Structure 1
């Protein structure tokens, strides 16, 4: 069971949603989201053969970045019609940009990804970062395999296109570090960072000369975050400048993770409306309980408990009550258990 491909995007906000196009290693689709007075958000969704999703998000109002994103797409020939639909819509609608003066003071106050992106850019710029990316990465609870990877970026678009196309997330030393660590990490301190590694060879080509990484985690949550703040300045000068502001940027990384979790919870609550007895049952199952425990907790018979399980599984789109309980926990529907 998964949320929709575009879980944060209500259907009436999608101005364009293209069909999925088959490419060498999966499928690609584009979606243009109306963020009202903030402008338009472009999403490029890549789904690999195993069903894992990588979603790139950028401000469609920045025409220079948008065209660079399009031109650096490795599948531009296959996606040209899709991009043309997006460009035609953007030009017909017009694109306001989010003024810095109108930005919220805190990430939690942002209404959409465009405000999040603008605020992230502003905070990083005032703390030594000329470029910045945030990744929300969700892994499987058992195998720790990446199931979804969302990238919100202010950097050269060709960098994220190359990153996604080459599946660099699978051997990214910063991501490997962020899976289990919470402390900030200087790029020059990454152990596998050698001259022959793609991070050393390619990052500088796109202006990412000095890099500092800020992991973020939530207790018992399969999603973690990674803020990548970079500078055109050479290392160590650029790194030093960012590192001096690591407390501010570490706080930003945590806020960005929390913002997305809250967005997913709101979406999940709408997509999977659970009754109070259903939430109680799922909490009991998640704690390792059985139908007998659920029956006792709800003062019903075991037969009625199993009937409740079937209702929940249908609602959650799962084949077993423990899978439903795991999914509900992942999407924050069970609260603290």
Structure 2
């Protein structure tokens, strides 16, 4: 059974990561790919391997609306066909490169690695909250842990009280008065929701409020297959039925694409300020990443379930997602799938 779900939309990169007139080389789902734009703006995502002697096409370069191999000069068009053979001057029909369905949406480049006939762009999850004109930093980092471990981390935000105390901690509110629920929608989305009514504000919000003021906080994380998450953060003055917001409702993408079985591309956004960047770097690189990398190393090659993990009530959302991903992989492998 594959480590990855195939019939689903993954993000390959942010749109701005594809250089004009050039290409982006990136390993995705444990295979190398090159992503580039034709002169008319159409995106192309093709396997980064020439079918002649298997040299990466990324060692060559762009030649108009083609990628030309740097080893013997075969050039491939946006459909993956060898459109020019320098030894004959003609196309070479037997030489082809795999090309995946690709769509540009929500300022990102999305690809479908499975059955191309099922690649409906309407299935890309809703990230319209980042589709706006105001400045926004769109970033990418690599986590040295499997996409399932990173998903677990995001689907159980109770860890914020411990490893994010200096960045995004909730100042004890989640443990003191947190109310937890998991919701699965008809479209397959799974929500892991924490609500903290009449709670002490998080440290970053204290300067915005009168001394001793209480707040209603909520952290709602949405997961869509294969590994596309979004966090909605709310903070309102307590007793106002969420009408007196301390800050506007925030939506943050947490979009994960496997690099390999044990490493993950993590796509995120933040306000384009040095302070916001420093806070995200601290949370992701100094707090999350060391923990997840240590977890991955401690697990080694063992299967998550074979290790017989202890399950806490706060794990409910993460476990629901793991079971759903297992169902999807088994279905794609033609194995029996038990009802959830």
**Greater relative CO (CA pairs within 8 A, separation 6+):** 2
- TM-score normalized with structure 2 length: 0.27
Larger radius of gyration: 2
Q: Of Structure 1 and Structure 2, which has the larger fraction of its residues in strand? A: 2
- TM-score normalized with structure 1 length: 0.27
